[in-house]
Amino acid sequence: MDAALLLNVEGIKKTILHGGTGDLPNFINGSRVTFHFRTMKCDEDRTVIDDSRQVGHPMHIIIGNMFKLEVWEILLTSMRLSEVAEFWCDTIHTGVYPILSRSLRQMAEGKDPTEWHVHTCGLANMFAYHTLGYEDLDELQKEPQPLIFVIELLQVEAPSEYQRETWNLSAQEKMQAAPILHGEGNRLFKLGRYEEASTKYQEAIVCLRNLQTKEKPWEVQWLKLEKMINTLILNYCQCLLKKEEYYEVLEHTSDILRHHPGIGKAYYVRARAHAEVWNEAEAKADLEKVLELEPSMRKAVHRELRLLENRLEEKREEERLRCRNMLG
């Protein structure tokens, strides 16, 4: 069958390699979909990036959760049971695939998929590219490109048919969700879509907060989750700054600093919010704290101090003009 535009979705083409059986399954929210997949580059060799059959077990997603690659839900819900199809997906759909792939590989190797996320997602370099620990994924991360997914649909289960297993899958799904949602939030932020980015960060925070309730406070895993949550909250605050919701930023950052007074980046974000609401002394105090805790942020701090002085001078000039007009 020739490649054809799938359901009028931009940037996706589908080719059926093996026809499925029966009618289109009922993909209701909460359904668990089981499938095998192979991910390939669009080069001459169709270089294989990932193959679930080589790993030895199929993939699952829960319809409506968007915990994996969002485009997969679009692809899967176009398929019948036992169907094998090839999908070409443009870069608008594949940007966060390297993060997902890294998480899947780490879990298959029995490693903790959160280690990289915890140690490298700081505020100062939140949009920088970091090594994912796999050369091919680093290449994709730096230069997103169209990808080909070959998918075989194995099973679709209604929520009631797998309910007993839900809790077992839930923690794994949520742990996998966080870096995917975080990466998607960063992508949306860079595009200037701050409302959507903030929603992604909030979803990731909810996932991790839920997992954190199952851990003993202040022990290793709890602290690991706490670091991830704080990073996401600071990213969320970046969106709030863009949306001019400064007092909410002050609330969130102050809450972080009450519990973790050594996070320099939280002082930096709070300083920016203080500056926007004319809290000159508080803004300068926070920026001094940043210099103390994070000397590498010196350039950013000096830039913020210059901006603050310029804005204060403009404000003073406006007040002088207002006084003259009143006296006149």
Contact 33, 156 (CB under 8 A): yes
- Residue 49: closest CA among 16, 76, 89: 89
Quote the DSSP letter at residue 164: G
Task: Decide if 76 contacts 7 (C-beta within 8 A).
Answer: no
Separation CA 81–CA 19 (nearest Å) = 9
Domain ranges across the chain = 12-157, 171-305
Angle at alpha carbon of residue 228, lines to 223 and 234, rounded to 5°:
120
- CA dihedral over 214, 111, 208, 58, signed as positive or negative: negative
- pLDDT for res 113: 53
The pLDDT of residue 198: 93
**For position 23, what pLDDT does the model report?**
93
Q: How many CA atoms lie within 13 A of 286 on its CB side?
A: 26
**Are the beta carbons of 97 and 39 closer than 8 angstroms?**
yes
Kindly give the residue spans of alpha helices, DSSP state H, lying in the chain.
52-55, 70-76, 91-94, 97-108, 115-120, 135-142, 166-190, 194-212, 220-242, 246-259, 264-276, 280-293, 298-327
Does residue 153 contact residue 79 with C-beta atoms inside 8 Å?
yes
CB atoms within 10 A of CB 161: 12
What gap in Å lies between CA 127 and CA 113, rounded to an integer?
A: 19
From CA 266, how far away is CA 1, in angstroms rounded? 55
Cα–Cα distance list, 218 to 152, 156, 224 (Å): 43, 40, 9
12-157: which CATH topology? Chitinase A; domain 3 (3.10.50)
- The DSSP element (H or E) to which 121 belongs, if any, is none
- Residue count of the chain: 328
Is 12-157's fold the same as 171-305's?
Answer: no
Predicted pLDDT of residue 9: 84
Residue 4 — left, alpha, or beta (φ > 0 → left; ψ -120 to 50 → alpha)? Answer: beta
- The one-letter code for the residue type at 147 is L
Task: Find the radius of gyration of the CA atoms of the chain.
Answer: 24
CA dist., res. 87 & res. 3, Å (int): 9
pLDDT at 6: 60
Please report, as a single letter, which amino acid is at residue 174.
K
Pick 171-305's CATH classification: 3.30.930.10, 1.10.10.10, 1.10.1670.40, 1.25.40.10. Answer: 1.25.40.10
CB atoms inside a 10 Å sphere around CB 176? 21
3-state secondary structure of 295: helix
Residue 165: what pLDDT? 40
Antiparallel, parallel or unpaired: β 32-41 and 59-62: antiparallel
CA–chain centroid gap for 108, Å, is 21
Grouping H, G, I as helix, E, B as strand and the rest as coil, residue 38 is strand
Tens digit of each residue's pLDDT, the chain (328 residues): 444 556 678 899 999 999 999 999 999 888 889 999 999 999 999 999 999 999 888 998 888 765 557 889 999 999 999 999 999 999 999 988 998 898 888 877 776 555 444 333 333 333 334 577 889 998 998 889 999 999 999 999 987 776 534 334 467 777 887 888 899 899 999 999 999 999 989 888 888 888 888 888 899 999 999 999 999 999 999 999 999 999 999 999 999 999 999 999 999 999 999 999 999 999 999 999 999 999 999 999 999 999 999 888 888 888 888 888 887 6
Q: How far is CA 7 from CA 71, 158, 245, in A?
A: 13, 24, 39
pLDDT at site 123: 36
**If phi over 0 gives left and psi between -120 and 50 gives alpha, with beta otherwise, what is residue 219?**
beta
